[in-house]
Amino acid sequence: MGLTGSGILILVALLTGVCLVAMVWFWPRLAGRGWKPVLGRIVAVVVTQLLLVSTLGLLANDYFSFYSSWHDLLGIGGGPVAVQASVAGTGSKQGPHGAVQVLGQEATGSDGIGVRAPALVGRVDRVLIPGHVTGLATDGYVYLPPQYFQPAYAKDRFPVLLVTTGFPGEAKNLLTKLQYPSIELQLLQQGKIKPMVQVLMQPSPSMPRDSECEDVPNGPQAQTYFTADVPLDVEGSYRVATNAAGWGAIGDSTGGYCALKLAMRNPSVYSAAASLSGYFKAAEDITTGDLFGGSQTLRDQANLSWRLTHLPAPPVSVMLASSKQDGASYREGQAFAALVHPPMTVAEATVPTGGHNFTTWVRLLPASLTFLSDHLAPPAP
């Protein structure tokens, strides 16, 4: 029996109900003294609690598609990544520069980043990115590839990836669980991609509120933060590209929605984007509050499929990366891809199995980073 679907959920729910009734029915017989009644009460409570937690866990997993199979839950199995290629967009941006505040350096693990010489493995800076335009600020990390420190690239400006987590994930998950710097380093060593600077952040600069990368009426201007403050601060602090041809965005879940949204709404800032199991319209719940000030127009404009149907397609290139078992995310991605038309282009990377989780996204990252590398301008003076 599979991990998802109604079969196992109904079975475990029935077992939970039977166990609850049985515990209530037999409890008087377990009320005596001695080790046998005590052991019986312990077993009854533990089994009932395990079944109840299992029912709730299966219900949540069935809704959110965290794990698609027992192999996915146990971290084994998988399948090849299938990629359908596309072409890149163009654009430019300009403006005054701010500055990133570097708080220190970070080691990422066995790849040696943070321990070995930066010219060999690169460097991860722990940073605070202040918003000189919006007044918002958030912390994160900047990964500088080894070429950034090598004499042959001493005068070059590097393409940049804005990398955002799901909500309310921590930026450090991008280093430890999704391994963005490590995977880029491996691909660089294999000669599969060009060097790119990574800016790794949470998807909301207004935590604990989930702003969905939206400029909220009378609220946090999250979209402007990511399209004005972050690029200008990074450009003012590092040798990076200063036009859209050198800037891309990528993220998982909420971060995937943000990546697509930022590129589609701001092609003069981001020319390419990749979404790992992202969605296509803004979430609205207790964590977001009213994102649109009651405006249906603003709500529609935050719906990426609506934009493709009612507005001109932007000149950007996007990749949709997901598991075919990731429920609504995969189905909605297929519907979205069918709406894409020139000058916008879409590519897809899929794995046959896997849920809405880090294990699946790590499998999809090499294809996604390769796509972005192919669609961003290389390091140049």
Residue of 104 and 38 predicted with greater confidence: 104
Return the pLDDT at 80: 60
- 94 pLDDT higher than 60: no
Q: Per-residue confidence at 6, pLDDT binned at 50, 70, 90? A: low
Is residue 50 very low, low, confident or very high in pLDDT (cuts 50, 70, 90)?
Answer: confident
Percent of the residues in the chain that have a pLDDT greater than 90, as a whole number: 63
Tell me: pLDDT of 59 over 70: no
Choose the weakest-confidence range: 29-43, 150-164, 236-250, 346-360: 29-43
Percent of the chain with pLDDT over 70: 86
In a domain, 53, yes or no: yes
Same domain? For 37 and 158 the reply is: no
Residue 302 confidence (pLDDT) above 60: yes
| Alpha-carbon torsion (308, 219, 297, 282), positive or negative | positive
More confident residue, 17 or 67: 17
Q: Which of 94-98, 187-191, 219-223 has the lowest mean pLDDT?
A: 94-98
Contact between residue 289 and residue 263 where contact means Cβ atoms under 8 Å apart? no
Any domain includes 98: yes
Position 107 pLDDT exceeds 50: yes
Per-residue pLDDT band for 88 (boundaries 50, 70, 90) equals very low
- Predicted confidence at residue 85, as pLDDT, reads 47
- 246-283 pLDDT per residue, tens: 999 999 999 999 999 999 999 999 999 999 999 999 98
Residue 30 predicted with pLDDT over 80: no
pLDDT of residue 64: 47
Tell me what pLDDT residue 248 has.
98
Please indicate, yes or no, if residue 381 is contained in any of the structural domains: no
DSSP states of 240-298 = B--SGGGEEEEEETHHHHHHHHHHHH-TTT-SEEEEES--SS---STTT--SSTT-HHH
d(CA 5, CA 219): 40
**Same structural domain, 144 and 20:** no
141 located within any domain = yes
**Do residues 189 and 216 share a domain?**
yes
pLDDT of residue 11: 80
Residue 315 pLDDT > 70: yes
User: Does residue 148 sit in the same domain as residue 46?
Assistant: no
Residue 273 burial (10 A CB sphere; 0-12, 13-18, 19+): buried
- Mark whether 240 and 327 lie in a shared domain: yes
In single-letter form, the type of residue at position 272 comes to A
| Domain tally, the chain | 2
Same domain, 274 and 365: yes
What average pLDDT score do residues 353-371 get? 92
Domain that residue 30 falls in: 6-64
What is the pLDDT at residue 81? 54
Q: How confident is the model at residue 63 (pLDDT cuts 50, 70, 90)?
A: very low
State whether 87 and 42 are in the same domain: no
pLDDT the model gives residue 87:
37
- The Cα 252–Cα 203 span in angstroms is 10
Is residue 71's pLDDT more than 60?
no
For 182-208, the pLDDT digits (tens) are 999 999 999 999 999 999 999 999 988
Spatial distance between the Cα atoms of 314 and 272, rounded to a whole number of angstroms: 11
pTM reported for the whole predicted model: 0.77
- Categorize the per-residue pLDDT at 134 as very low, low, confident or very high, splitting at 50, 70 and 90: very high
11 with 100, same domain? no
The pLDDT value given to residue 190: 96
pLDDT of 95 over the 90 cut: no
Q: Residue 72 domain-assigned?
A: no
- In terms of domains, do 134 and 201 share one? yes
Predicted local distance difference test score (pLDDT) of residue 22: 78
Tell me: pLDDT of 4 over 90.
no
Question: Cα dihedral sign for 100, 378, 81, 212?
Answer: positive
Asked if residue 380 is part of any domain, the answer here is: no
Domain boundary pick from 64, 93, 109: 64
Q: Among residues 35, 64, 93, which one ends one of the domains? A: 64
**Whats the size of the chain, residue-wise?**
381
Q: Give the CATH number of the domain where residue 164 resides.
A: 3.40.50.1820
Please tell me the predicted confidence (pLDDT) of residue 61: 57
Residues 119 and 43 in one domain: no
Q: Is the pLDDT of residue 312 over 80?
A: yes
Q: Identify whether 303 is part of a domain.
A: yes
The verdict on 38 and 110 lying in the same domain is no
Confidence category of residue 348, pLDDT binned at 50, 70, 90: very high
What mean pLDDT comes out for the span 25-33?
Answer: 72
Q: What is the mean pLDDT of the chain?
A: 87
CA 220 to chain centre: 21
Residue 117 resides in a domain: yes
3-state helix, strand, coil in the chain (%, to 5): 40, 15, 40
Q: Are residues 11 and 159 in the same domain?
A: no
CB atoms within 10 A of CB 380: 13
Confidence of residue 108 (pLDDT cuts 50, 70, 90): confident
